[in-house]
Every structure is written in structure tokens, then in C-alpha cells.
């Protein structure tokens, strides 16, 4: 699962919880940030094999710290606590259930990976591996990613009050993510090394976080001026 993860970030954002969209963009990929970091450190293991599955070249054969069910729950709880702590230090930002929402957003990564991944997600440590393997079916997996993303953005647009330029920007962002997913799924390319892939994860995911940050800035100044 790739851009489909961001559906949860878009869907989770509401007027009530006031969680910044960029925070949710980190949350839904939090496990992959840990994974990419551990791959770069040589602690978790990844093979990049052309045609490994129809929809992905990633054979992530050892990732017990970032992608086991038990550690996924632990990272989710940690992220929720961290969010609450940071918010309380910056008084007034925190809304009820926001930490829980952040925790659920982090855990959603594992749940969505479970659908796409071949049987490589351990329940704990490196054992009892599960995965429904939708990556073996390229078109349905692609369709699911885009359908999820579209639903997420529709929820984002309907649950949050925003000026028209911001709505348009959110839709354009969705289209850009779709194009990136088309590139990832359908455009043939050579397999990168494990480290280069992990670097790519860091760079692309962080780029999306930056875009989410600026997306939410659109129209803010005008609202301030108008008030």
C-alpha cells in the first residue's frame, strides 16, 4: 500500500480534533518511517526484486520492529502519547480524542499493509507472518489505493470548512498522488538498492508532509485579514 495510506490522514482531519494534516501525514506512514530508518541502519532487511509481486518490487523479508502487529500497536500508543505531550506543552492546541485519532492513524498503516502485502507481516518478532497479498493483483490493488484516496479526500472536503482555493488545491494534491501511484504501479523501472529505496521513502514521504503543511495554510491569511 502506498498513496492509499493517505486516505486515513485526509479522513481523520476534522474541525473538532484540529490535528494538523501534516501530522496525520506523518502518522499514517509512521511505521514506514521507522522501517526506512532501520533499513538504512541495516537492522531491518529489504530486497528489491523486479517482478517480486505484480504491484511491488519490495521483498521486505525482515521487519519485526517496524511492521509486526505487536510493535505496530506499541508504536501507535507511543505516537498518541507523544502527540498529547507535545500539544500540552504548546497549550490550548489539544482537543479531546485527538491523541486516540493519531494512534489509530498510525495503526491504520498496519491494517492497510495487511491487505496489500504478501505474507511478510509478523504478528510478533519475526513469526506468524500474515498478509492478504493484494499486491499479486496489480489492477485491483491500484484501484483500491485510488478508491481509498478519493474517499479520504471527499471526507476531508466535507468535514472541514475551507475556502474554494484550498478545496481545489486538495483535489489537485489528490490527482498528483494518483499520478505518482500510476508511476509506481505501472511504469517499468530498474530495481534500486535497498538503501536507495529507503532513502526514497524518506524523501517522498517528507515531501508529501511538506505539501500537506502548505495545503492547510491556503486561505488562512485571508481569514485573518477578514476578521
Residues that bind Zn ion (CB under 5 A): 32, 113
47: left (phi > 0), else alpha (psi -120 to 50), else beta? beta
Return the axis-axis angle of helices 138-159 and 98-116, rounded to nearest 10°: 160
The rounded distance, in Å, linking the Cα atoms of 27 and 206 is: 12
**Smaller CB distance to Zn ion: residue 170 or 177?**
177
- The alpha carbon of residue 73 and the mean position of all alpha carbons in its chain are separated, in whole angstroms, by 16
Please state the closest distance from residue 183 (CB atom) to Zn ion, in A: 19
**Smaller CB distance to Zn ion: residue 113 or 145?**
113
**Smaller CB distance to Zn ion: residue 44 or 113?**
113
Please state the closest distance from residue 44 (CB atom) to Zn ion, in A: 11
Specify whether the CB–CB gap between 191 and 49 falls below 8 A: yes
Q: Are strands 121-124 and 45-48 parallel, antiparallel or unpaired?
A: unpaired
**Smaller CB distance to Zn ion: residue 94 or 110?**
110
Closest CA to 122 of 67, 85, 166, 164: 67
Please state the closest distance from residue 197 (CB atom) to Zn ion, in A: 12
Please state the closest distance from residue 208 (CB atom) to Zn ion, in A: 15
**Smaller CB distance to Zn ion: residue 60 or 101?**
60
Amino acid at each position: 500500500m502506498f498513496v492509499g495510506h493517505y486516505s486515513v490522514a485526509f479522513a481523520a482531519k476534522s474541525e473538532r480534533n484540529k490535528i494538523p494534516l501534516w501530522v496525520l501525514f506523518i502518522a499514517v506512514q509512521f511505521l514506514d518511517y521507522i522501517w526506512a530508518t532501520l533499513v538504512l541502519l541495516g537492522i531491518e532487511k529489504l530486497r528489491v526484486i523486479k517482478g517480486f509481486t505484480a504491484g511491488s518490487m519490495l521483498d521486505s523479508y525482515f521487519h519485526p520492529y517496524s511492521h509486526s502487529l505487536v510493535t505496530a500497536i506499541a508504536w501507535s500508543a507511543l505516537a498518541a502519547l507523544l502527540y498529547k505531550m507535545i500539544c500540552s506543552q504548546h497549550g490550548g492546541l489539544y482537543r479531546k480524542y485527538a491523541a486516540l485519532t493519531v494512534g489509530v492513524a498510525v495503526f491504520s498503516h498496519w491494517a492497510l499493509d495487511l491487505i496489500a502485502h504478501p505474507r511478510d507481516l509478523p504478528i510478533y518478532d519475526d513469526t506468524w507472518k500474515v498478509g492478504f497479498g493484494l499486491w499479486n493483483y496489480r489492477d485491483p490493488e491500484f484501484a483500491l489505493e485510488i478508491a481509498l484516496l478519493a474517499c479520504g479526500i471527499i471526507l476531508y472536503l466535507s468535514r472541514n470548512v475551507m475556502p474554494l482555493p484550498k478545496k481545489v488545491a486538495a483535489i489537485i494534491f489528490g490527482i498528483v498522488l494518483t499520478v505518482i501511484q500510476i508511476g509506481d504501479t505501472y511504469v517499468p523501472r530498474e530495481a534500486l538498492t535497498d538503501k536507495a529505496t529507503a532513502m526514497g521513502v524518506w524523501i517522498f514521504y517528507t515531501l508529501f508532509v511538506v505539501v500537506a503543511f502548505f495545503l492547510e495554510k491556503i486561505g488562512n491569511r485571508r481569514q485573518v485579514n477578514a476578521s
